[in-house]
Amino acid sequence: MSQSPSLQLPEGKHPQLRVMPMPSDANVYGDVFGGWIMAQVDIAGSLPATRRANGRVATIAVNSFLFKNPVFVGDLLSFYADIVKVGNTSITVNVEVYAERNRLQTEIVKVTEATLTYVATDESRKPRPLPPLDPAREAGITPAL
């Protein structure tokens, strides 16, 4: 289950989410509950899916979920999410989670990886087709007013 620590966070990528688990997120031994981590992964994965869908999305599948290393109270978690597949109404996202430990001598460990699928939904929460790809929106570029 354990892997050797990496030296740095993924280069050239920005985390979708960064969060530090608190004591209420852990069991009596200080290990963070897997369900809490799963919820954060779902939030992180939904962010690029929502951007691509230009609106509401719903999680329809957790295709894979692997806990590679434990997460502890006080770890600073960084969630990286990338769209890997787009269908007519669905968006599949890979999420990788890294923990920064020991603030004085930073150790970075990959703790979780997952693949989730979201579906774009309308106001009635029914599936809707994805809009055409807008490269400026995907790059986070806002048009001048």
pLDDT digit string (tens) for 2-17?
A: 555 546 888 889 999 9
pLDDT of amino acid 30: 85
- What is the distance between the alpha carbons of residues 95 and 141, in angstroms, rounded to a whole number? 23
pLDDT tens digit sequence for 81-130: 999 999 999 999 999 999 999 767 779 999 999 999 999 999 999 999 99
pLDDT tens digit sequence for 20-79: 999 999 999 889 999 999 999 999 999 999 999 999 999 999 999 999 999 999 999 999
